Amino acid sequence: MGGPRERRGADRSRRSRVDRDLSFGDEAAARELIEEIAARSTPLGDALADGVAAAAERFGGTDLVPTVKGMELASYDPRGAATMALAFATGDRGGCHRRAGRSRPRRWPTRGGTPPTRAAVVADEQDRRAGLWCLVGDDFLAESFGAAAAAEWLAALGDERDPDDLRLLGERVWTLTRLFNLREGFDRDDDGLPEALTRNTDEAGKEGEAPGDGLDPDAFEDLLDRYYAYRGWDREGRPTARLLDRLGLADLPDAATPVGSAETIPGFGAADGDDD
């Protein structure tokens, strides 16, 4: 039924946070709510027009709303998929599935793999897509458009590039975006996950059903540390001066942009293969 805002409106109705008869699968009610959001013609529509997080502040239920950086998560539930959870949390604009793709067993280790592998998969995919978008390519092309294919396209236009140049381009773009967010006041807390995801799904944790599948906050914090270490960021998620120098970005941060120190990078890197 509808997009994230309509689904969250129905969820609040089901849990009696708003006095409105909404239920999943009710197409007429969804259309009516969409029109109210567009026109801001009712208190609920007006609140949802500002986003689910803003509506939760107004009507209550912030503990129920899965958002990151104020943006609603896409339709993929990251519980049970650590890489998807990390991708949502570290997205530059919030819980966006387009920044690193949705969870696919072939590409995204979920219950298998090691924490360092998961951190590397997310960071590498974010960089790949950041570079791809510079060429006005669509990430729905997925595997058919990688760095090698992009280099071929550019070569056809007379611009000879090595695939490694394009990987570096993506890393530079992602790092620049991070610096912008840091300057605007974002920090490690903004790379967190909503409380709603620490709870089990309705079907999990019951007798005879699947085991509890709520995200473990401690395990997530460890995974976030590994992601920062892989990227060369410090424990607060700030790119270090050494990284900026390697990427040719050392002269860009202004006085209002915090830069990390190599001494505060989490104490493990991409080569760490522990299974803890």
Give residue 269's pLDDT: 44
Per DSSP, the three-state class of 240 is: strand
- CA nearest 80: which of 209, 206, 220, 194? 220
Give residue 207's pLDDT: 52
Give residue 188's pLDDT: 96
Give residue 78's pLDDT: 83
Residues 93 and 74: beta-carbon distance below 8 Å: no
Let me know the angle formed at the C-alpha of 73 by 70 and 75, rounded to the nearest 5 degrees.
160
User: Token pair 């550019």 is at which residue?
Assistant: 154
**CA–CA distances in Å: residue 24 to residues 7, 31, 79, 96, 133:** 7, 12, 21, 23, 35
Give residue 111's pLDDT: 47
* pLDDT-flagged residues of the chain (< 50): 1-2, 5-6, 8-10, 12-14, 103, 105-111, 204, 208, 210, 269-276
CA–CA dist 231, 177 (Å, integer): 13
Give residue 272's pLDDT: 38
Give residue 196's pLDDT: 82
Give residue 89's pLDDT: 93
Give residue 137's pLDDT: 72
The β-bridge partners of 210 are 204
